[in-house]
Amino acid sequence: MAEHLTAQGLADRWHKSPEWVTEQARSGQIPGAWKLGRLWRFNVAQIEAYEQGQRTNNIYALTPGSKRRRKYKKTA
């Protein structure tokens, strides 16, 4: 049987609030997330794969949110 995390467990792992985690899950930003009744669950294997994919040695790499903000930034 696969391991799963709760929103609180993932929040502790990522040093974020449980509210932030559930917001991200609701918007589809966290892979391996599903809702069980009122509670969110997260597949540990998919979370680990996501974390591995997020690591980069390039300090100048843009995050997806940065690209979005830059796209709409007005130029003078």
Task: Give 7-28 pLDDT, tens digit per residue.
Answer: 999 999 999 999 999 999 999 9
Q: 5 vs 21, 55, 73, CA distance in Å?
A: 11, 21, 37
pLDDT of residue 14: 93
For 26, phi then psi, to 5°, come to -60, -35
pLDDT of residue 52: 84
Distance CA 25, CA 40 (A): 8
pLDDT of residue 50: 87
- Decide: pTM greater than 0.75: no
Spell out the domain ranges in the chain: 4-72
- How many CB atoms are located within 10 Å of the residue 53 CB? 9
Whole-number average pLDDT of the chain: 81
Asked if the model's pLDDT at residue 64 lies above 90, the reply is no
